[in-house]
């Protein structure tokens, strides 16, 4: 395996509604044989409990039950593990996705705060010139939210708001989730078949 092929993707899940987007992205990446380094904020775990009924007392076992057996490899880092490899620019990665990205996390990344491992890993992506994709899921938004998104876009981050389309005529929530995850995979330059593209009538 080449060095480039062995580099992982970092996936961050923060405390916005829609944590299912992040979990589905991990499933899609692992199903494609990619390597994933996962970090979830405490608020992200709260969303997984409240919206999906996840057992969050033993977090590693919960993730093992979800992801073990898929073709790719993964590793989970606790949010306060600031000494983890992904906190360093010398740790080679393909990039990072924060999905969903709460406005608090987005603001912290825009301000370069690096108060936890997710924020630090995102800061590393910016300072090393690597791919950083942020998926905010909040509405409505005010001027500070918009300014933070503009700041990050000007720094090279890709902003992919969780705004599912309907031209593929979804008939289930799962198809709407897959549409958004597919749009993120497009930004990661990863081939997939999670939704029917416009003009594809086959």
DSSP characters for 125-145? HHHHT-EEEEEE--SS--HHH
For the chain, what is the mean pLDDT?
95
Tell me: pLDDT of 116 over 70.
yes
Q: What is the pTM of this model?
A: 0.95
- Sequence spans of domains, the chain: 3-187
Residue 170 CA neighbour count, 13 Å, CB half: 14
52-90 per-position pLDDT tens digit: 999 889 999 999 999 999 999 999 999 999 999 999 999
- Rounded CA-CA distance 197/74 in Å is 29
Asked if omega into 187 is within 30° of 0 (cis), the reply is no
Q: Which pLDDT value is given to residue 55?
A: 87
Q: Which pLDDT value is given to residue 201?
A: 60
What secondary structure letter does DSSP report for 8?
P
Per DSSP, the three-state class of 166 is: coil
- Rounded CA-CA distance 137/62 in Å is 24
- Rounded CA-CA distance 12/96 in Å is 7
CA distances from 8 to 73, 90, 92, 97 (A): 9, 13, 8, 11
What φ, ψ does residue 87 adopt, rounded to 5°? -85, -5
What secondary structure letter does DSSP report for 69?
T
The CATH code that applies to domain 3-187 is: 3.40.50.1950
* Lowest-pLDDT range of 39-48, 49-58, 139-148: 49-58
């Amino acid at each position: 395996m080449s060095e480039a092929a062995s580099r992982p993707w970092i996936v961050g899940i923060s405390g916005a509604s829609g944590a299912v987007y992040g979990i589905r992205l991990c499933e899609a990446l692992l199903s494609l044989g990619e390597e994933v380094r996962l970090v979830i904020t405490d608020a992200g775990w709260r969303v997984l409990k409240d919206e999906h009924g996840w057992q969050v007392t033993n977090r590693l076992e919960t993730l093992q039950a979800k992801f073990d057996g898929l073709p790719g490899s993964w590793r989970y880092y606790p949010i306060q593990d600031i000494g983890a490899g992904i906190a360093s620019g010398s740790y080679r990665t393909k990039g990072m996705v924060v999905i969903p990205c709460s406005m608090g996390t987005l603001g912290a990344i825009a301000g370069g705060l690096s108060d936890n491992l997710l924020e630090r890993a995102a800061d590393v992506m910016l300072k090393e010139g690597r791919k950083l994709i942020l998926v905010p899921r909040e509405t409505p938004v005010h001027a500070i939210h918009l300014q933070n998104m503009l700041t990050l876009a000007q720094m090279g981050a890709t902003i992919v708001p969780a705004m599912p389309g309907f031209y593929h005529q979804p008939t289930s929530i799962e198809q709407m989730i897959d549409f958004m995850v597919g749009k993120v995979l497009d930004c990661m330059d990863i081939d997939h078949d999670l939704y029917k593209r416009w003009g594809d009538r086959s």
